[in-house]
Structure 1
Amino acid sequence: MKKVKHLYIIIFLAAILTYLVSAEYTKLGAHSLWWGLRQNMVFLAGVLAWFGMSFTIILSIRNGVISRWCGGLDKAYKLHKWCAISAVVLALIHWLAEKVPHWLVDAGMVAHPGELGDIVMAGWQEQLLDFGLVLAEYGLYLLIALSLVSISKKIPYHIFYYLHKAFPVVYIACAYHVMTSLFKTDWWQTPAAYLLAFVTAVAVGCALIALFQRTGSRNTSVADILHVEAAPQDIVEVTVRHRATIPMLPGQFAFVQFAHSTERHPFTLSDVNPDEKSLTFSIKKLGDYTRELAQHLLPGQRVKIEGPYGDFTFEHAGNKQLWIAGGIGVTPFMAKLKDATRKGQPLSGVEFWYFTRPDRGLTYPDYLTELCHQAGVRLKYFTVNNTENMQQHITEMKSSLNDNGVDIWFCGPDGLKKSINDTLKQQAVSIQHFHADCFSWR
């Protein structure tokens, strides 16, 4: 996640640099200090919000190069989320910095400063500018609504999915406002306007890709369902066969669109069999879509698969590996175990900790012990029901965790990940090589 944080900082440092090269701050002494500061706040917050919005849409199209820069698509979507939230907050500050002083003038609480600039606009420019202001204001309302839907996990995914499709339209409308707002400035005499125009042009292109539903089109293939099986713990196993060999690796995931739906959902591969050109997805019944999935699926149905994505591939791992899974987070490890067994390549030096809840009954898959034995992996089950219980387990594991040469691969619920990290900090255990995909998309 450090790479994502660094990219987040770089994005907004680029926005600040754009504001600085506009030399807007040099006009502070042209009017009263208060009004000058207010005008600079409008521009600074606006540029920061615009960079946040632009990279939100750029990150959304699942470009392979950008995803690799972020350390995987899951990390790119985490950055996408941070940029989106920041953009909404900064857009609201931009809007308030513009509106509140006017409200104070209308209320007679402060005097009107007169024109703050010496730019004379043509009539058509004023008309375009005014229309852009209207678009931007309504666009802000929609952005706030979209953000609330995105961060609230109580709202069903299908509502989140379809409302998200409105964002490219909102972005293009706001792009119109950004470019027409430059009519009342002298930014075109500085590199600032050209930096804004470049970022805007790239992001508008990405918005059009999303608007015309071309996201991931180059990475999409068609498969047929081979069989659907019910598994323990409300899990459905769906095996599909590709018509061509797709270079997917154990531990990766793909966006899957089944024939009965127009939605694409990300699912992790629990098996990759290149000999049979088949893929298996183990899908946990967690929401309305996944709970009803099995009753819609039949052998022979077409499936659209977009992928592969993710860097949870166990590549460049050291000789000693520690795998930690919780719940359905076992799936990428299943794929790796099956791959190693199929190739006859034992995974020496691998220890696998599988955390379960005492109320969940039979663990998934029920053949995991045998699978680990075949692959040469040491498996340990841990039952967790409270924080104290977790601390006890970590105490038992300290000898393995204190080995600086061990690579740790984690996949499981965010709550388990946080509990493990908190306990490690309390017990002063240092982790240097920790790999985890971000499977929470909202």
Structure 2
Amino acid sequence: MRPVGLALIALAALIPLFWFAPLAASRDPVALFSQYLGTAALIVMGINQFLATRVPGLELVFGPLDRIYVLHKWLGIIAMVGLGLHDIIDADMDGLRGGPLADAAEDIGEVSLYGLLILVLASVITFIPYHLWKWSHRLIGVFFFMGAFHYFFIEKPFANADPLGLYVSAFCILGLVSYVWMSVLRPLAPRGHAYKVASVRHINGLTEVLLEPRGRGLKHVAGQFAFLSVMGGGLTEEHPFTLSAAPRDDRSLRFTIKDLGDYTSRLYRELKVGMEATVSGPYGNFSMPSGRDPQVWIAAGVGITPFLAFAQTLKHRESGPIKLYYCVRERGDIPYVADLQHLAEETGKLELMIVNSLEGVRLTPERIVEDLKGDLRNAHVFFCGPAPLRKTLKNSLVLKGLRASRFHFEEFQMRTGIGLGRLAVWLWDRGIYAIEKRRAEKTQPAE
């Protein structure tokens, strides 16, 4: 996430204090603070709806789209905290007159709060199936509309036509327009680039798809991802996948997709040559740097896809020595090993190392440092794989001298939780510990 984007969001939420502060002299400050929390939450939700549109330019301000998805999640949580406090802290003020819709706005605000709370919780509880989550997620705009209705017609110490009222209304309108665009207009509008499925290949649980453009095609750089939608077979829903081949002159594209869920399972079974497809993008900023500094590429499982594209560009670009650690749990054929070995021999810049956990081999920070002969300070490390492994390696390598800014990664999952699973395990462990401690105390002989 880019600091400038975070600063703009924080500033947008804090600006209403400029108008709220003078009101504190004549109004209940506690109730006024509650009303500020409600307006700030609406502002954040309006921005969050806008972030979901994927309009051009968002990545320049807020960072790569994978980071925007993480920001989107946390802004939703922050907004819900603000709305929850607004509901708990009494916002009623003496001497205010509401319009004819004030009572209805109060009730609708309650419905909006609890509806949004349920949907935000559904977003961070990751064991809920993706298709159910995505369907329910569309209702957030409906509850946001109800929250905006509550704001427009509820009793408050300023008018909708005042500068403060106009300011907050602008973010409500931004959120509502964004929702209408995403849920109604965008599905009807032409989008993306038209492609045809040229070939389909199944490789050890992976589906490799080669697409040929039906028009000018999509222009991308190695390491980026795009949204794929296939016409037919129940595959029209857009899903993001990394492009697993370097850019080609004819702008054909290759995706390599692992069978991990309902959609990817259907893709594995139903995708056929000749099907029409739409590709939207590209997105992401996971790209190789220029220069001759040493590089370390770490791929786990299907995380090899961006590095396949990276490796194909080595024939045409300058780079320093590159060590690719391909972490797998395979006994038979390992996808794309032959291709990578050929590229390594052809370019002379790439050293491929298979890290097979079934053979008792583990990738450790110490091994990386040893293989680099201690030159960690000047290295770039690229990682694509599970978050726990990423965090372990990054923390250890930074402690050993790697500059944190040179550890590059992309969020492997667009939908992530907030640690509820870890919290549940911790609470369970604490509960078991307390029970065992009480039992031990009861069984101790009296002195």
Fold conserved (TM > 0.5)? yes
Count of matched residue pairs: 408
Residues 221 and 137 of structure 1, relative CA distance in 2, 3 Å threshold? same
1:84 match: secondary structure:
helix
Contact 1:62 1:216 (8 Å CA) reproduced: no
1:225 to 191, 197, 211: 197
Q: For residues 16-56 of structure 1, give each alpha carbon's deviation from its aligned partner in whole angstroms, at most 9, with x where no partner exists.
A: 221332336523x65xxxxx343023112212211221111
**Is residue 120 of structure 2 the alignment partner of residue 147 of structure 1?**
yes
Residues 381 and 284 of structure 1, relative CA distance in 2, 3 Å threshold? same
Map of 1:106 onto structure 2 = none
Q: For residues 373-398 of structure 1, give each alpha carbon's deviation from its aligned partner in whole angstroms, at most 9, with x where no partner exists.
A: 32343224252759985243244246
1:418 to 369, 376, 391: 391
2:15 match: secondary structure:
helix
CA distance in 1, matches of 2:387, 2:302: 12
Map of 2:444 onto structure 1 = none
Residues 73 and 219 of structure 1, relative CA distance in 2, 3 Å threshold? farther
1:136 to 70, 89, 109: 109
Map of 1:239 onto structure 2 = 210
Which is further off, 217-226 or 413-422? 217-226
CA distance in 2, matches of 1:327, 1:383: 11
Deviation at 1:180, TM superposition (A): 1.9
Deviation at 1:285, TM superposition (A): 1.1
1:432 to 401, 405, 414: 405
Deviation at 1:218, TM superposition (A): 6.1
Contact 2:226 2:279 (8 Å CA) reproduced: yes
* One-letter amino acid matched to 2:60: R
Residues 262 and 144 of structure 1, relative CA distance in 2, 3 Å threshold? farther
Map of 2:9 onto structure 1 = 11
2:126 match: secondary structure:
coil
* One-letter amino acid matched to 1:16: L
Map of 2:341 onto structure 1 = 369
Residues 401 and 155 of structure 1, relative CA distance in 2, 3 Å threshold? farther
Q: For residues 234-289 of structure 1, give each alpha carbon's deviation from its aligned partner in whole angstroms, at most 9, with x where no partner exists.
A: 11101111112321222111111122223111001012453343111000111122
Q: For residues 148-172 of structure 1, give each alpha carbon's deviation from its aligned partner in whole angstroms, at most 9, with x where no partner exists.
A: 2211221111111111111222222
Map of 2:257 onto structure 1 = 283
Q: For residues 77-118 of structure 1, give each alpha carbon's deviation from its aligned partner in whole angstroms, at most 9, with x where no partner exists.
A: 12111111111122111112138xxxxxxxxxxxxxxx8343
Residues 436 and 197 of structure 1, relative CA distance in 2, 3 Å threshold? same
Q: For residues 286-314 of structure 1, give each alpha carbon's deviation from its aligned partner in whole angstroms, at most 9, with x where no partner exists.
A: 11221232210111011121111112233
* One-letter amino acid matched to 1:348: S
Map of 1:201 onto structure 2 = 173
* One-letter amino acid matched to 2:255: F
The TM-score with structure 2 as length reference comes to 0.83
1:251 match: secondary structure:
coil
2:16 match: secondary structure:
helix
Deviation at 1:330, TM superposition (A): 1.5
Residues 426 and 388 of structure 1, relative CA distance in 2, 3 Å threshold? farther
Contact 1:136 1:174 (8 Å CA) reproduced: yes
Residues 178 and 425 of structure 1, relative CA distance in 2, 3 Å threshold? same
Unaligned residue ranges in structure 2 (runs of 5+): 416-447
1:307 match: secondary structure:
strand
Map of 1:335 onto structure 2 = 309
CA distance in 1, matches of 2:229, 2:134: 13
Residues 309 and 134 of structure 1, relative CA distance in 2, 3 Å threshold? same
* One-letter amino acid matched to 1:336: F
Which is further off, 209-218 or 12-21? 209-218
* One-letter amino acid matched to 1:137: E
Q: For residues 134-157 of structure 1, give each alpha carbon's deviation from its aligned partner in whole angstroms, at most 9, with x where no partner exists.
A: 222112222122112211221111
CA distance in 2, matches of 1:359, 1:324: 17
CA distance in 2, matches of 1:128, 1:401: 68
1:120 to 94, 97, 100: 97
CA distance in 2, matches of 1:50, 1:118: 25
Deviation at 1:420, TM superposition (A): 0.6
When the two chains are superposed, the root-mean-square deviation of aligned CA atoms in Å is 2.7
Map of 2:163 onto structure 1 = 191
Q: How does 1:377-388 map to 2 (within 5 A)?
A: 377-381=349-353, 383=355
1:271 match: secondary structure:
coil
Residues 360 and 116 of structure 1, relative CA distance in 2, 3 Å threshold? farther
Contact 1:250 1:269 (8 Å CA) reproduced: yes
**Is residue 62 of structure 2 the alignment partner of residue 64 of structure 1?**
no
2:128 match: secondary structure:
coil
CA distance in 2, matches of 1:398, 1:427: 12
CA distance in 2, matches of 1:359, 1:53: 45
Map of 1:93 onto structure 2 = 85
The TM-score with structure 1 as length reference comes to 0.83
Unaligned residue ranges in structure 1 (runs of 5+): 31-35, 100-114
Which is further off, 184-193 or 238-247? 184-193
Deviation at 1:190, TM superposition (A): 5.1
Residues 82 and 242 of structure 1, relative CA distance in 2, 3 Å threshold? same
Percent same amino acid at aligned positions? 27
* One-letter amino acid matched to 2:48: T
2:90 match: secondary structure:
helix
Map of 1:52 onto structure 2 = 44
CA distance in 1, matches of 2:35, 2:96: 16
* One-letter amino acid matched to 1:223: Y
1:78 match: secondary structure:
helix
2:376 to 394, 402, 420: 402
* One-letter amino acid matched to 1:90: G
